[in-house]
Structures are given as structure tokens and as C-alpha cells.
A = this chain, B = another copy of it.
């Protein structure tokens, strides 16, 4: 029987928002509300920013119906923050936690949030202050270590898969070359999801470029030309994070650019796609129909096509964090274990479990080799088997020819 630790709980959300990060928030709150030893449940507005300012929302008596409405709302309901926390900040945080009698912390975020939790936890241990701190994972990039996949990824992946499903149909209807730039920073998981809506043999994306493989403009143009000559059209998914053999981001070549007036700096958001399109047009002839779209922020908070699997798992990791906190002097990062084996036709199943904070903190992971084809310009069936169950239901499509 665990010893009861009486005190307040603090919850924060950090980093880029997702469609299901509020499911995790509500999972924590609804579970924490059940336990008398958690006196106040403090929601910190905008993550560490709200912790520094002691800008808290009281959640102990939050109405279940209101919480449910928040749970199904994309983006961080408490507000988020991009502030990278250093060791000094962690010291200040710990002082604020002690002052506010905080004994439980639930921090929903990526590897940086796990790192913050890890450092604060170390300070509490040194000070002999019993403090149960949990990192609750979220990221559309799917780049956290230890966990099979990250809450938030399935919904963003579904958006990208549906976007490419539609774009492939569009491209089949009015043929040409189409380039789509997908988020995901230095991990290719989100771009890989472009392939998850393919149904027929000739469906696009026909080419998928990931940051895990060196990108060559010339090879890219050659690949596109080959597909275009065969099918009369070509749909390409490209990660925003593609880099050359020296790990220099391709996008970097196009920023700090001056426009025709000689004085305006490009934000760079649409630049990578526009320049890849221009390069292909130059290679294949000016009359070739080439278009580029950069999906941008749409990918992470689009309501209305959230993955049911992702939503349920995000809720569960939140609930589970509180479960663990109630079990004794434990801390850690909640992870998802897959119980079914991908590609074996088994019904998808998963469970939440726990790992050490330091296993998730700081470093990220990339697409494993078995998910990328030999040519480095597409995903493998192993990736599709891994990722498809995470999307939940996807629309069905039909063809006349």
C-alpha cells in the first residue's frame, strides 16, 4: 500500500500543439479529481511561463462536461510555450513548486519537456523533497524514444494521409507534377504518413523524401522525371527537414533571400516547395505543369479528422500518469507499448507503461532503416504496417477507370 502524499498537483502543456494534447490534459485532470490527497489541481497557463508567473487555472472542481468539450478540442487548452528551460530556470521552478506545496507534476510535451521534468526531479531528490513528476508524451513528429509511437502523431499522420489521398485524386484528374512539403523537423515519420492513403497500384505519393537520407536535387529531378514519363503525372511528399550529405538543410539554401525590391526577407515558409518546383520545371521544361504546396500549421491542429485511436491513447497516457503517481514515490515518462504485432493481421492493441525520465529526455529518434526503401525515396510495407493502425478510420475511395 502506497503512502499517501498530500499536496497540490500542477499540470502544464509545452511545445507545438496537437489534436489530442487536450485528451491527455483531461485524462490527468479527471483522474486527479478522484484522489483526496491531491488538494488543488493547478493548470499552468502557457507551460513554464505560467509556472514562473504563478498563473494557474483551478481544475479540481472543473465540470466533467466542460472538460469533455476541451478534450475533443485541438491545440493546448492551457496554452503552450516555446521557452527552452535551462538549469537556472529549473531551480526557480523548484522554488515555486515548494512555495505552492506542489507534490505532483504532470508535464505534457516532447523531449524538452521530459528533460525539464528530469532536471527538476533531480533538484527535488537532492533537496529530499518528495515530488512525483511525470512526463506525458505528445508530438506530431513521433520522435520520442522508448515509446512505440507518440500521442498526437496518429491524428497529424491522418491529416497528411488524407491530404495526399485528396491530392493524388486531384493530380490524377488534372495530371502534372505535384510536390507537397510536410512537417516533422529532423524525423521523417510525419512525411512518411503521406503514403498511408494509397489504395491503387499507381496512387501517389509516388516518391517520399525523408530527412533520414541525404537529399540530392539532381537525384530528385531524375526520380520525378522517371515517374512522370511512366504515369504522365507524379505526386511527391517531401519533409521540410530534408538535408544534403553534409546534413545541411536544403531549406537553408533558400532563406535569407532578398526579393526583387531588394529589401524584404522571406519567412521561408513556402520557399522550399517553390524552389523544388522551380528546379523540376527547369529540368523537365517550362511547359510542364508543376505545383507545390506547403502544408504548414494545418497539419497539427485540424479539427474534424482526428484519429480515434490517437485520441483514446492520448487520454489513457494522461490517466495512467496519475495512476502511477498514486502508487508510491515514482516518477517517469509514460510510454505506449504495442501489444499486437504489425503486419500480422492482428487487431491493433496497446497499453500504457512507464520508463525513466532520462530515457526520453533530451534526445530524439528517427525513422528506422526498415521503414525506408533502398533507394531512399519511399517508405516500406513495414512502415505502413506500423503506422496505419494509428490513424483509426480513413475514408474509402472508388474509381471508374
Contacts and interface: CB of A to CB of B under 8 A. Distances in A.
How many identical subunits does the complex contain? Answer: 2
A276 to B, nearest CB: 9
B293 A298 contact: yes
Contacts of A72: 395-398
A184 interface: no
Interface residues of A, number: 83
B173 A17 contact: yes
A394 B269 CA distance: 29
Interface stretch (A75-83, A88-96, A144-152, A329-337): A75-83
Contacts of A273: 269-270
B80 A395 contact: no
B268 A274 contact: yes
A21 B273 CA distance: 28
Nearest to A15: B174
A277 B269 contact: yes
Contact of A400 (B57, B163, B295, B303): B57
A396 B300 contact: no
A73 B291 contact: no
B260 A264 contact: no
19 contacts: A43-B400, A57-B401, A69-B397, A71-B398, A72-B398, A73-B398, A166-B300, A167-B298, A170-B300, A265-B278, A267-B277, A269-B273, A269-B277, A271-B274, A293-B295, A293-B296, A293-B297, A294-B294, A294-B296
Given A166-B303, A291-B297, A294-B296, 18 more contacts: A69-B396, A72-B398, A73-B399, A74-B166, A75-B170, A77-B398, A162-B302, A167-B297, A254-B260, A264-B282, A267-B277, A267-B291, A270-B271, A291-B296, A293-B298, A294-B294, A295-B298, A304-B305
